[in-house]
Amino acid sequence: MESLIFPYQTELAEPMAHYMKDHFPFCGVKKPQRALLERPFLKESLDLPMPALLQEIFRNYNKAEREYQYYAIDLAQRNIQRFSLEDLAALLPLLAEKSWWDSIDAWRKVFSTWVLAHPAEIKQVYHFFYQHENFWYRRVAINLQLMFKEQTDPELLAQAILVDLTTDEFFIQKAIGWALRDYSKVNPEWVKEFMQQHSLSKLALREGSKYI
């Protein structure tokens, strides 16, 4: 499989880096253009043996520019139906590399997509992240069931939130509010009761209450 090389566009690279607080360099390729450039490579990736696919994901994720991390995650997402639980677990170290909300939330979607296709394995995947020492992994535990609707396991949701109820970290409190807000669309009474029983941060309470 040939390597995807993103063009460097100085006029866009700097503003895109600034938007991400200058944590990462960018090539300056916006999402619509990136999607077009990725398309043939993602299609070709479907024929790669799993070891080669994982190698390609890791190789791109380790490149400097942020677009390559996005591409690596897109490779995983495009091939997610091919992943075994062991293949999925092999991706876990990447969540600790170049971590920020954009990559973590994209990885969360990968794991969520797999769980929706393998609902019997939800607890095993959830425990990849639950009580992890790295708060970015715990953000995934909290938001793992986003958009699961009636398939949401409220016990796992509550468990993930309670671990971080008093954690003074914006991205954790935002995740708590996001998870509660999403679940309130299908089970508002549960969310109301949970909020009444526990002392949530102002941020989590405001976000979680948006639809109730």
**Interval 86-133: pLDDT, tens:** 999 999 999 999 999 999 999 999 999 999 999 999 999 999 999 999
| C-alpha triplet 182, 153, 142: angle, nearest 5° | 55
Q: Around Cβ 151, how many Cβ atoms within 10 Å? A: 12
Q: What dihedral angle (degrees, nearest 10) is formed by the CA atoms of 126, 127, 133, 138?
A: 10
Which amino acid does the sequence have at 210?
Answer: K
pTM: 0.97
Instruction: Write the pLDDT tens digit of every residue in 165-199.
Output: 999 999 999 999 999 999 999 999 999 999 999 99
Terminal alpha carbon distance of the chain: 50
- What are the angstrom distances between the C-alpha of 120 and each of 10, 78, 116, 130, 186? 47, 22, 9, 17, 21
Which tens digits make up the pLDDT trace of 25-43?
A: 999 999 999 999 999 999 9
